[in-house]
Structure 1
Amino acid sequence: MKLLHLDASSLGQHSVSRELSAAIVAQIAQANPSVNVTYRDLTAHPLPHWVPVVDADSDAAKQSQGVLDEFLAADVVVIGAPMYNFSIPSQLKAWIDRVSVAGKTFRYTENGPEGLAGGKRVVIASSRGGIYAGPMAGLDFQEPYLRAVFGFLGIQDVAFVRAEGVAVSAETKAKALASARDTIGSLAVKAA
């Protein structure tokens, strides 16, 4: 099994999404000792924002192709995705722009778009300072966007491990992390 592990938080060792994504990868590796993990830190090594590449031999084209190849080779993709300003970090958006490639991961047909990257499992470790279940749900552009983009690419197996309210109080954060760890335990069984 090939696993692609991405982190997009700018908080380094203080990041909840990084902590959760590492725990997800550890659980999957424990259940699948032969797993081959590729790690990409989108903050430490950010991708530039997407622009059209005219020279296929350029460094930018090679970098984009490498990112796409990592994604296409993966059976499981684990993403540490904090919510920034109701959505995802721009570093993660730059990565999504590299893997959303017409003719490679999706195509347009007479019947509408068709995803070409199906058969993968995507697990997203989502951390949020506030609580977006209930009255704040309308401000959540993170989870709907990620479900939509991976669905557009043909990936239907998308799971979220959420830690909400981590900035509300120490008690709320502790409860959110405990709940997220319980979810991780049940996801690892499915990924095996």
Structure 2
Amino acid sequence: MATLLHIDSAVFPEGSASRDITALFVQSWQEQHPEGKVIYRDLAATPLPHLDMAAVVAGADNALRAELAAELAEADAVLIGAPMYNFTIPSTLKAWLDQVIINGHNAGPDSTSAETPFTIVASRGGSYAPGTPREDFEFVQNYLEKVLEGMLGVTQIDFIVAEMTLAHSNPQMTQFIPLAETSRTQANEAATQKAKALAARLAV
């Protein structure tokens, strides 16, 4: 039985592209692997405290950090919803990373998460793809890739990206609605296909 750790961080509980896509991923995962386990954390509904000196000193002896690290260690796969806020990840997701990554415990060359596949659903209101005017402002994929590889040694990171999510609500972006719809369709299809493939592989 494979375990999926599902993390959502979008502020709004409804109307969130990242939440909708991660939910579709989980649904497809469960359809493919109904015996599997899903550990869920909604970082907006139940925010984690910022890392403080006492928690740093305690490391894995800190009850909360130990609980989070145990969830990560149990996971056969990790799914993270990471919308772009002010060009980077939500502070709640940063708090989770700060708490769950523990030097001398699960970070470094002996990381227990090195072989764990991570799927990141990155949503953003505009486009930050290579070749676009705001390419240099993209600090969601860049940051998460570096911290997961650099601290946890993760070797399997897969991004599902939904762009132009504000096109339907921002009058200045109406010309980009077709691009938004195409991006969303592709993201939904990727979530479905990747979840089923991953569940099938891990359930063996």
Superposition TM-score, scaled by structure 2 size: 0.84
Matched residues in 2 for 1:167 and 1:2: separation? 33
- The change in CA–CA distance for 1:17 and 1:130 in structure 2 (over 3 A counts) is same
**Counterpart mapping for 1:1-192 below 5 A:** 1-53=2-54, 61-107=62-108, 114=109, 116=111, 117-133=113-129, 134-135=131-132, 136-152=134-150, 153-169=152-168, 170-191=177-198, 192=200
Is this contact kept in 2: 1:122–1:158, CA < 8 A?
yes
Q: Deviations over 1:103-141 (max 9, x none)?
A: 12223xxxxxx2512121111111100001122211101
Shift of 1:185: 3.0
- In structure 2, relative to structure 1, the CA distance for the partners of 1:115 and 1:129 (3 Å cut) is farther
Asked if the contact 2:22/2:191 (under 8 Å) is kept, the reply is no
Mapped partners of 2:110, 2:190: distance in 1: 28
Helix, strand or coil for the counterpart of 2:14? helix
Aligned-pair CA distance for 1:68: 1.2
Larger strand proportion, structure 1 or 2?
1
Match for 2:161: what amino acid? R
Q: Secondary structure at the match of 1:156?
A: coil
More helix by share: 2
Give SS of 1:124's match. strand
The answer as to whether partners of 2:78 and 2:119 remain within 8 angstroms in 1 is: yes
Task: State the superposition RMSD in angstroms.
Answer: 1.8
- The size of the alignment, in residue pairs, is 183
Kindly indicate whether the alpha-carbon contact (under 8 Å) linking 1:115 and 1:155 is maintained by their aligned counterparts in 2: no
Q: Distance in 2 between matches of 1:185 and 1:2?
A: 17
Contact 1:166 1:172 in 2 (8 A): no
Q: CA deviation at 1:84?
A: 0.6
Could you list the runs of 5+ residues in structure 2 that have no partner in the other structure? 169-176
The worse-fitting range, judged by mean Cα deviation, of 116-125 and 169-178 is 169-178
